Amino acid sequence: MTFPDPFQSVRKERGVLRCPFEGESIVMLLRHGEVREAAKDWKRFSSNHPFRVPIPSEEEMRSMRQLPIETDPPEHGKWRDLVEPFFKRPRQPEVVAAVRDLIGRLVVGAAEAEQIEIVREFALPLQSKALAHLLAVSEDEADEWIEWGIHVFHDGDDSGSKGVTLENYLHRRFDEAAADPGEDFFSALVTAEIDGRPLTRDEMMGIGNLTFAGGRDTIIHTVSTVICHLAEHPEILPWLREDPKRAVLAAEEFFRITTPLTHIGRVCPERTELHGETVEADERMSLCWASANRDEEAFPEPDTVDLARKPNPHIAFGAGPHFCLGAAHARLVIRVLLEELASRVGSIEVIKSEPHIETTPEYERLVGYDSVRARFLPGG
């Protein structure tokens, strides 16, 4: 499998790429060091703009500000501190054990089937049920989330009103938690306080919305890419099997090379010059994680998938104050997936795959798969 870098030449020559998105012309910052520094500089590159941080925009798909991602320090820190205890749960031994049991069951089920569709029958349940453990709710509750499809806002292959479906679910769960609080994520929000007051419903919804939307298609695309790469490189599973600790570095390299979130928006409060491109005051620019993670100044042989790469200063989870809250969860999921595949599967055969290509007027980029039909074969 090859992972073409569509930003290589323009990154070397100019460091920025101006690309049209939804009627805007957005300057994308491309170099690793500059992207990392810009991610820390919230005064010049602000996130305090509802609906303008994700690219493409989600203004027509949700009705509230996502928290904490669409705020700047110091307000951002208050919201992050409020929810961080749940996002640290993947470091707890009992959560690690539960996620391992889940992934083990899914791998065994896939191996027992004649073949399996990886995206919807494997990656989607894996992501959804692992999220249930993060949020301290029953795995069974994830069955409803699975019905929403790959993207909770706009999965064209699934029925239901996107956006509204998620919002209706969140309202119902917050109502239930208010009536009978427990130890779960929803109860924590309805009983939490910020600045000495309870959260408003819109604030709860903003946190819940990001929690469900933020790591859904990104984890699913990473899982499908991992499966396809392992199928094309059968030497990897035996290599992982020799030393399970290798899965830690391997997971980080998969995050670097796949970088399922290409870039993220920021708004410049003042007129800003970026390598000869002008971003006017109140216009958007973007931090291009995908380009930064292939920068030859930061990564020797950046187009090579080196599963033992160390150090690996990738920024697939961002950088600075907005470093992804779900990073520990994503790392647990992919690391355990690699370990369980190595211990339970001899090899993987891909029967048919449909790559998901992100297409813009300026670049095309592989971002996971829309469909992968595969067999998990015994041996090893």
pLDDT tens track for 134-172: 999 999 999 999 999 887 764 445 544 456 889 999 999
Q: Among 338, 350, 322, 361, which Cα is nearest to 232's?
A: 350
Query: Is residue 32 in a domain?
Result: yes
Query: Is residue 117 in a domain?
Result: yes
Number of domains in the chain: 1
Q: Among 227, 363, 354, 215, which Cα is nearest to 291's?
A: 363
Query: Is residue 1 in a domain?
Result: no
Query: Is residue 253 in a domain?
Result: yes
DSSP 8-class letter at 7: T
Query: Is residue 282 in a domain?
Result: yes
Range of the domain at 110: 8-377
Quote the CA–CA distance of 140 and 257 in Å, as a whole number: 33
What DSSP string describes 283-329?
EEEEEEHHHHTT-TTTSSSTTS--TT-SS----TT--GGG--TTHHH
Q: What pTM was computed for the model?
A: 0.96
Domain CATH code at residue 359: 1.10.630.10
Neighbour order of strands in the sheet with 347-359: 116-117, 364-377, 347-359
Asked if 95 contacts 89 with a C-beta cutoff of 8 angstroms, the reply is yes
Give the count of beta carbons closer than 10 Å to the beta carbon of residue 310.
9
pLDDT tens track for 25-67: 999 999 999 999 999 999 999 999 999 999 877 777 788 899 9
Average pLDDT score over residue span 324-346: 97
What DSSP string describes 204-232?
HHHHHHHHHHHTHHHHHHHHHHHHHHHHH
Using alpha carbons only, how large is the chain's radius of gyration in Å? 20
